[in-house]
A and B are shown apart, each in its own frame.
Chain A
């Protein structure tokens, strides 16, 4: 086996090895058991006192959602105003300008919803103040929002519960103080030691080997890069994200960042097992998600390792794989792994340019975001998966001859309505958005946002909306997206793609929690078996993936067949 592949396998193995104890720790944090970080507790109490929040008050699912949404609106207003006025505020050593209203609308939303779609470039588009007080701040709170929503659903999945699903602010604050902040600090320290800047000085000037002088942007970046991965945010400090040598200096940092971004999504699966004492269920979910990841990763690894046949035809050696758009210090396989991980878990940070990936890889990256439930984003990944569980439970419940029930609660028309609506939303946002942009471009190619017309241009548009709807944030790039059309349409896709998939599962779980608990019998369909796992996988693939088949055919698949079977 070659070294590159070993690197990929090692990275994944280390991730899982850390995620299991970390999941146990998360379960302890939220069930109020003793942990090593209990010394923070006075600080948390002080915050609640300052904010006059009674953190012991139990909330029902509606109160949770009201708290979640209102606090998010507040952050949006704050971020929008800050970005709009950043040019005239302090901590702006490079003298970067304020954002236009449509760009600040898009950026504020994009970071608020944990997507981090960037229609600007970090070096010139933001000031140190907004990088820290807006971007980094939102990266923390949006990740914590996702975790908090998931914990509410966990609470609702317990056996003896009806209305009291914990206190939103308590869960939210603990997500930051006990989980995100401490781990971010560790990651930031590792990055700093490997050369990532953490300084408030402005641009540096260096002289290259060729003798040219180059201006290099710097800034207090390490902390932001840590949370960008840990919170599955993905928005880079620098424009080219983790392909930038200061954002991701070497193979070690590459591994750390790759582990960091998928750590919480995987740890949360195990947390479910520990928290609800349903370990087997957690293993099944982990198994399905891992198989899902592998079914996307393996074709990508193969495609990237084999290189581009068109380039081979020119007589250029491709033994290192397809290296267009990739960094030599990482190589084709590590970049392939990253590109799949970042798309399935909604991070959206990149260490290679997806625009240059092979068509198969492009298809897989798109599918990763279209399914959006293999590990998935911080907290929200399992929420998306929850919707598929509900649909799978419903169909398989009927197949064994019983009114479908999940964890002892009957699934009826109301829950199906919500689940269907949420499952419907994703293809709706992506396909309608892409259809709209295709329509505009077909009728007036002078809008000029496509540099590569043809299938690839279509893939770029499809990717942009897929990335927005999945709250992923990576871009196929190559798309001229900083204009009012893209800023506003993706802005709305972002909001809808974020909050409805949070509201839906929380509502379903809340409604189910209030229903009568039915003890299990031999006729009850168990949801922690391999068979049910296969069912869930099939539901995800047939519902989430198949709806996009025609669109994929016109984009990356057409490219693939033109390239390989001309």
Chain B
């Protein structure tokens, strides 16, 4: 599903829409949301008035018409560039969301019409857009599911590749934690009855699109605080520029309005001001590209602050279920015979553990000597909680059992067989290594032990190491006993674990961490996860999870990938870093701009100030124009960076600050000196 990321940042169809929006966004009512750019707009209007004034009555005090027109045009461009940044971010986010939504629009739905309170099995074909919350529809093999809902009856295999990109079909069934279906996915087999869970236009995806479009986009707390700081900077420079007028009058230095406004626009943080909302939208967009639907921009931002990550063991840290890894036969039998016993005991065992025993035996090259006839008449003993063992009874009076050590031991001793200390040692050894021992007996005689182990996902240790470097504590949640849990926790490199976890344990753990001032993220799918998902600062519900879980969390992961949390945290951090570094860059730029414009303002009346013109810009006009042109151009140049985000490196906060300070702080001082000088060499040809 990562194919989208490789697409170019600027697609043709997006560009034209963004260009149109850039002009629509010039509306002062929209501009005022961004105080920095709003003041630029006022400056632009003033320049327009000055230009008109010169056309009618040019007394030469404000410079030539051409010069003033150029300044006006550049200011207008600055505004358009800033609007374009926001518009292209919106367009990209929208396009991404639309592509997800498109699949589910206008698909036929088989509505089960109801009469009174009785459902009559009369099918009514309607369009998916007509489905209301609470309606029940039927899906058969081959149907596209028309909208999001919850299965109330039946079981089906479903192809969710349209949403997740994962081609392997998944099973969804009524009841339990895997009852949700998503619009746009395809039923491959069987028939299900589904209850619609959302009103048309109110699905998570619809909400997300609204967030991206700006209709319901709210500024996040950090964005508000940053806007305040930027507004403060803007105010300082308003004061600087307004007071410059009486200063200049005192010094008998006339300053043109164009020069004053140019100085102002150059000094205020237009770079970050123009890119700020684009950065925020791009953050949500990046989440969407990772197939995560966020319910608010705030959630993405909060993800970057997460201190504690709660992860389910199964599926996240370990691959699905336990697997057989070793056969230990007792001294009284051969390995070959023992393995055969194991295979026989597991033939009918449909559990993943049972299957893995047969698989391991195959790898070891074992063959069942027992004839098909014998097997056909065999009685399979299923696992029950009381017997705590399973196995097979063959016609030739052969009873093979595998099960928990103490049960098998008890049966063996009851039948008068010894339970050797050698077996005891193997059993304890396996337990101490975090494995689960299964003891196998033939006619109550101990034959040996099978070792079942949790398989830790490859590469997961590195991911936890990365999280630790970010300062995030990882907590594994498992139903295993504390000993096994501890072993796996150590092996996988998680910092803490909750063993024998009940749903309320998660909740309590979250509350405990939060009481210490920490922010907690978790992922869940079941209805019993819902309270914890709601309590967590970032709750990611799996799309396959129940509706309750999805409502409770503040993000939905379409891929149902438990490791997605790690990606979300990085997206959140990237979002903040991009804002911080571009703010630094923007403010650092002021140094060079001062050195370009201030000498230009006064050089006419105080020629000695040529000494301050360290860039040796050609003339006052070209100096001022070069500075505003640089100021305008830097916005579109940085749009790709704003959309992609500044890379996050887990190298520790101080090292990261040092790195970003050098690149964006020091670079921010240096780049405009070079940029303005280069532009001046060009502009100097005309002014």
Residues of chain A having any CB pair with chain B under 8 Å: 391, 394-404, 408, 411-413, 415-417, 420-421, 423-424, 427-428, 431-432, 434-436, 438-439, 441-442, 455, 458, 516-519, 521-526, 529, 531-532, 534-535, 538, 542-543, 546-547, 549-551, 553-554, 557-558, 561-562, 564-566
Contact = CB atoms under 8 A, between A and B. Distances in A.
Interface in B246-291: 246-251
B307 interface: yes
Contacts of B612: 553, 557, 561
Given A427-B240, A516-B517, A523 B653 contact: yes
Given A549-B594, A553-B602, A413 B225 contact: yes
B228 interface: yes
B131 to A, nearest CB: 41
A417 B228 contact: yes
B222 interface: yes
A391 B612 CA distance: 29
A435 B247 contact: yes
Nearest to B606: A558
Contacts of A522: 468-471, 652-653
B15 interface: no
A329 to B, nearest CB: 35
Contact of A442 (B240, B246, B602, B609): B246
A420 B226 CA distance: 10
Contacts of A396: 580, 657, 661
Interface stretch (B336-344, B351-359, B570-578): B570-578
Given A401-B304, A416-B226, A525-B653, 8 more contacts: A396-B661, A397-B580, A400-B653, A431-B240, A432-B239, A546-B594, A550-B598, A561-B609
B228 A413 contact: yes
B222 A549 contact: no
A420 B243 contact: no
18 contacts: A397-B580, A401-B304, A402-B304, A403-B221, A424-B235, A435-B245, A438-B246, A439-B246, A442-B250, A517-B517, A518-B516, A521-B307, A522-B471, A525-B657, A538-B665, A546-B590, A550-B247, A561-B612
A398 B222 contact: yes
A565 B225 contact: no
B608 A458 contact: no
Contact of B654 (A525, A551, A562): A525
A434 B232 CA distance: 21
Interface string B298-335: 00010011010000000000000000000000000000
B584 interface: yes
B608 A562 contact: yes
B243 A535 contact: no
Given A417-B228, A550-B244, A401 B574 contact: yes
B584 A558 contact: no
A26 to B, nearest CB: 29
B225 A394 contact: yes
Given A519-B516, A566-B608, A401 B657 contact: no
Interface of B: 221-222, 224-226, 228-229, 231-233, 235-237, 239-240, 242-251, 301, 304-305, 307, 468-473, 516-518, 572-577, 579-581, 583-584, 587-588, 590-591, 594, 598-599, 601-602, 606, 608-612, 648, 652-654, 656-658, 660-661, 664-665
A394 B307 CA distance: 19
Interface SS, A side: helix
What 7 pairs across the A-B complex have the smallest Cβ distances?
A523-B471, A398-B580, A401-B573, A420-B232, A521-B471, A522-B471, A399-B580
A565 B613 CA distance: 12
Contacts of B654: 525-526, 529, 531-532
A458 B583 contact: no
Contact of B584 (A395, A434, A534): A395
Contacts of A398: 222, 226, 576-577, 579-581, 583
A439 to B, nearest CB: 4
A397 B225 CA distance: 12
Contacts of A531: 654, 657-658, 661
A402 B250 contact: no
A525 B572 CA distance: 16
A523 B590 CA distance: 30
A397 B608 CA distance: 42
Nearest to B301: A403
Given A396-B580, A565-B611, A402 B661 contact: no
A432 B10 CA distance: 46
Nearest to A443: B249
A399 B656 contact: yes
Contacts of A516: 517
B228 A416 contact: yes
A443 to B, nearest CB: 9
A535 B581 CA distance: 12
A546 B251 CA distance: 20
A543 B586 CA distance: 12
Residue among B225, B237, B245, B658 with the most chain A CB within 10 A? B225
A95 B151 CA distance: 101
A427 B242 CA distance: 12
A518 B594 contact: no
Given A438-B247, A519-B517, A399 B239 contact: no
B232 A553 contact: no
Given A396-B657, A402-B653, A413 B608 contact: no
A19 B652 CA distance: 34
Contact of B576 (A403, A434, A565): A403
Given A399-B580, A420-B229, A523-B471, A438 B249 contact: yes
Contact of A434 (B243, B301, B652, B664): B243
Contacts of A553: 598-599, 602, 609, 612
A442 B598 contact: no
B653 to A, nearest CB: 4
B269 to A, nearest CB: 11
Residue among A399, A434, A438, A543 with the most chain B CB within 10 A? A399
Nearest to A423: B232
Residue among B249, B251, B516, B518 with the most chain A CB within 10 A? B251
Given A522-B652, A526-B653, A538-B665, A399 B247 contact: no
B574 A441 contact: no
A431 B240 CA distance: 7
Contact of B221 (A402, A413, A518, A551): A413
B569 to A, nearest CB: 9
Contacts of A542: 587-588, 590-591
B243 A558 contact: no
A421 B304 contact: no
A399 B656 CA distance: 8
Residue among A400, A420, A439, A458 with the most chain B CB within 10 A? A400
Nearest to B652: A522
A398 B577 CA distance: 5
B517 to A, nearest CB: 4
A400 B577 contact: yes
B576 A401 contact: yes
A233 to B, nearest CB: 29
Given A420-B228, A522-B468, A547-B236, A561 B584 contact: no
A434 to B, nearest CB: 7
A45 to B, nearest CB: 39
A441 B516 CA distance: 60
A521 B473 contact: yes
Contact of B229 (A416, A435, A523, A547): A416
Contacts of B471: 521-524
B657 A411 contact: no
Contacts of A538: 588, 661, 665
Contacts of A561: 606, 608-612
A535 B609 contact: no
Nearest to A453: B250
B466 to A, nearest CB: 11
Nearest to A418: B228
A471 B240 CA distance: 21
Contacts of A400: 577, 580, 653, 656-657, 660
